[in-house]
Chain A
């Protein structure tokens, strides 16, 4: 069951303030996956155990020079149609949230699932994300 919008809005805003496009509908997701080039999709989450570190880590990672051309988020548990559409586009990846998927021409290339976010600090997670950026840019 989704949480009240009032509670979730600050968690949305944290990524919107980073110019991360928010995908609220399945059509938004489909359009995003049609983008050519490199992209990052963040599965945002209310979960305080992991998402509280995930969003700051995205902020840190987006300071990297070779960040992906397109960056967006879907809010798992809140925007269910959009989330299901994103899961349908990445059926080989076990669903988890928060999590981060890197894409090239709409195809997943790297995945940072929730368990690699849990219990870690933003700097550590950001280092993993930027390593994925480097790999994505060089391959």
Chain B
């Protein structure tokens, strides 16, 4: 479905998982996956092992319930980003 913000790319407004080349993943509403940064709103982040949760367990829980935001806005440099995937593409177990 088109929005008023089509110029911001197909992921604008979509809740995504941003995987990186570090132990930290981010989940939030994508504002823009731009040439230098991925910008997320209402975002959470998780580092593998935090709160006794693996990254897979964290993403699984996020896919089922969503996340409580830790950040109003996050800018994640593209040179750390390995993958940006809509959260609803992860199966709910």
Give residues in A with beta carbon < 8 Å to B.
47-50, 52-53, 93-96, 99, 111, 113-116, 118-120
Contact = CB atoms under 8 A, between A and B. Distances in A.
A-B CB proximity, top 5 nearest: A49-B13, A115-B15, A94-B66, A113-B66, A115-B87
Nearest to A99: B66
Contacts, number: 47
Given A49-B12, A94-B65, A94-B68, A115 B86 contact: yes
A52 B15 contact: no
A118 B14 contact: yes
Given A95-B68, A115-B14, 4 more contacts: A48-B1, A94-B68, A115-B63, A115-B87
A15 to B, nearest CB: 19
B24 interface: no
A94 B13 contact: no
